[in-house]
């Protein structure tokens, strides 16, 4: 009985890992890229790398409504069903954002897991400081916590006015959609 149960779990794990490995991730990416065009978001000049369990996107240029918005050096997408993540590295925002926020983002990540299916969590680190964000899918609320850098507090006070400062020196932003 124990041996059969062990074989069942081993075959199930093998099947799921094989399914994740052999899924045509590049085709799914190109489909999603096509769907993003409906919202005037265009990703161009990227190199797509399928590395088995993850999908890498190198040197992507992102434009929104025909305005160049960002250059992303490396994106790593992991879709495991139970745990999904998108990790972005070395993001340079367009000069049009220069009056609102520093342009260099060192890293950003977005994570979603079935163990907390109501929330999508994001973290970012860059010249602006450190940012933690949580989006509640059911209530459609966004909660952002920002620990600003000295550059952000000195040069971007107008942007920080949209946040509320708490007792820890962090800035909080809440929005309902």
Neighbours of 159 (CB within 10 A): 18
Which secondary-structure segment (H or E) carries 61? strand 54-64
Residues 136 and 170 in one domain: yes
3-class SS shares of the chain: helix, strand, coil, % to 5:
25, 50, 25
55 and 123 inside one domain: no
Collapsed DSSP state (helix, strand, coil) of residue 140? coil
**Which of 13, 45, 79 is the endpoint of a domain?**
79
Q: Please tell me whether residues 175 and 153 are part of one structural domain.
A: yes
Give the pLDDT of residue 41.
94
**Taking the alpha carbons of 164, 167, 171, 175 in that order, is the dihedral positive or negative?**
negative
Query: Tell me: the pLDDT tens digits for 15-69?
Result: 888 888 888 888 888 998 999 999 999 999 999 999 888 999 999 999 999 889 9
For residues 68-93, one letter each, b for 16 or more C-beta atoms within 10 angstroms of the residue's C-beta and e for the rest, the string is eebebebbbbebeeeeebbbbeebeb
CA–CA separation, 64 and 141 (whole Å): 23
- Domain closes at, from 48, 79, 110: 79
pLDDT tens-digit series, residues 100-138: 999 999 999 999 999 999 999 999 999 999 999 999 999
Same-domain status, 4 and 72: yes
Last residue within a domain, chosen from 41, 56, 79? 79
Q: Say yes or no: 68 and 92 in one domain.
A: no
The residue range of the domain holding 30 is 1-79
């Amino acid at each position: 009985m124990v041996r059969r149960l062990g074989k069942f779990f081993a075959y199930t794990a093998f099947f799921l890992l094989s399914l994740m490995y052999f899924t045509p991730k590049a085709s799914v990416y190109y489909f999603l890229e096509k769907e993003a065009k409906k919202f005037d978001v265009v990703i161009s000049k990227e190199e797509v790398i399928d590395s088995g369990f993850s999908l890498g996107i190198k040197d992507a240029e992102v434009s929104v409504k025909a305005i160049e918005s960002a250059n992303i050096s490396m994106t790593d997408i992991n879709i495991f069903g139970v745990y999904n993540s998108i990790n972005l590295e070395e993001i340079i925002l367009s000069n049009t954002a220069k009056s609102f926020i520093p342009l260099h983002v060192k890293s950003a990540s977005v994570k979603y897991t079935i163990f907390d299916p109501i929330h999508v969590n994001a973290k970012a680190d860059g010249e602006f400081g450190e940012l933690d964000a949580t989006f509640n899918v059911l209530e459609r609320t966004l909660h952002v916590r920002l620990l600003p850098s000295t550059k952000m507090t000195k040069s971007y006070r107008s942007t920080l006015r949209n946040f509320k400062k708490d007792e820890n020196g962090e800035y909080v932003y809440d929005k309902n959609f």
